[in-house]
Amino acid sequence: MDRESDLEEEVRMMVASLRRHAQRLERAGIRSVPVGNADGGVVGGAPQAGWLSGVEGGLFSDSTEAYRAQSLEELRSAIGDCRRCKLWPGRTHLVFGVGNPRAEVMFIGEGPGRDEDLQGEPFVGRAGQLLTDIIVRGMGLRRDDVYIANVIKCRPPDNRNPEPDEVESCEPFLLKQIELVKPRIIVALGKFAAQTLLKTKVPIMRLRGIWHEFRGIKIMPTLHTAYLLRNPGDKKLVWEDIKKVIKELRTPAL
C-alpha cells in the first residue's frame, strides 16, 4: 500500500472508532460531551464535575445512575445485582469496597478471592491479613482509615486472571469510586491493578517503587500481597515502596 492509502485507512479507522464511541455515549444517555480548553480543563456542558464527566463518561454504557452517583452508597446501589459480565453466576457476593469514604490512601487490588467472595469484603483472606499488617503495623493507620477496592468486583472462577471484557464492564465503577473518594495516593497492588490503571503492559517489577500519576492522583505500584505470601523474600521491596507512601503522606498537601 502507498502512503496515501495508508493515511486513508487510518482516517477510516479513526472515524469508525469515533462512531462506536458516540454510540456508547448515546446508549448512556449522554447527548453532549464537554469541550476541552487550552489548559486541558473542561468548558461548558459537563453533566457533572470530576474527570468522569469527560470522555470517560462514555465508559458507562448502561449505567447513567452510576455515572451520576454522588456518594459511594449511591454508586453501590446503582451497580445493583450486577449482571453486566459473565462473572455474576459464580459469585456469592459482589465485593464493592470498604473503608473511609474520604481516605487519603486507596489500595486497589485485582479481584475478590474465595474469602472475599464469601464475606463480601475485599482483602479479608490471607493476602488481606498481610495487607492489614502493612496498613496497621507498617503505616501506623487503621484499616478503616484507608479505602480498599479491587479492579473487578466479582470473583473469577478458580481465581483466574480477570478477562478484558470483565475489566471493561467493571472499570467504570472503579474509576467512579476513585472520583468519589478523591484519595491523595493510590497504592496499586500487583501487576493487574497497576497495568489496568496506568494502561500499560510494563512489568510490575519495573513499575513498582516509582511514583506515577493517575489523573492528578499519585500512584505507587507495588507487589501484590498474594505474591508476597509465595515470595516472602520480596517483602523488603514492598516495604521500600510503602516507606515512600508514608513519606509522601507526611508531606503537607499543596
**Judged by CB, which is closer to ligand URA: 230, or 250?**
230
The cell numbers describing 202, all together, are 510494563
Question: Residue 249 CB, nearest distance to ligand URA (Å)?
Answer: 22
Q: Give the residue, chosen from 112, 156, 172, 183, that forms a contact with ligand URA under the rule CB under 6 A.
A: 112
Check binding of 128 to ligand URA (CB under 6 A): yes
Antiparallel, parallel or unpaired: β 147-150 and 212-214: unpaired
> Can you tell me whether residue 37 is helix, strand or coil?
coil
Check binding of 169 to ligand URA (CB under 6 A): no
Per CB under 6 A, the segment of 24-32, 77-85, 105-113, 234-242 that binds ligand URA is 105-113
- Going from the C-alpha of 176 to that of each of 61, 171, 226, the distances in angstroms are 14, 9, 26
Question: Residue 190 CB, nearest distance to ligand URA (Å)?
Answer: 7
**Judged by CB, which is closer to ligand URA: 36, or 232?**
232
Check binding of 123 to ligand URA (CB under 6 A): yes
**Judged by CB, which is closer to ligand URA: 33, or 194?**
194
* Nearest by Cα to 60 from 78, 41, 35: 78
Burial status of residue 3 (CB atoms within 10 A of its CB: 0-12, 13-18, 19 or more) = exposed
Cβ(223)–Cβ(141) under 8 Å?
Answer: no
Check binding of 173 to ligand URA (CB under 6 A): no
**Judged by CB, which is closer to ligand URA: 28, or 127?**
127
Helix then strand then coil, in percent of the chain rounded to 5, is 50, 10, 35
Beta strands in 56-211 (DSSP E): 98-99, 105-109, 147-150, 185-189
Question: Residue 204 CB, nearest distance to ligand URA (Å)?
Answer: 13
State the Rg of the chain over Cα. 19
Check binding of 172 to ligand URA (CB under 6 A): no
Check binding of 99 to ligand URA (CB under 6 A): no
Give the bridge partners for 188, in sequence order.
Answer: 108, 221
**Judged by CB, which is closer to ligand URA: 78, or 127?**
127
Check binding of 117 to ligand URA (CB under 6 A): no
Number of C-beta neighbours around residue 164 at 10 A: 8
Number of C-beta neighbours around residue 185 at 10 A: 20
Per-residue binding string, ligand URA, 148-167, x by CB under 6 A, is: --x-----------------
Q: Give the residue, chosen from 57, 99, 111, 183, that forms a contact with ligand URA under the rule CB under 6 A.
A: 111
Check binding of 109 to ligand URA (CB under 6 A): yes
Residues that bind ligand URA (CB under 6 A): 109-113, 116, 122-123, 125, 127-128, 150, 226
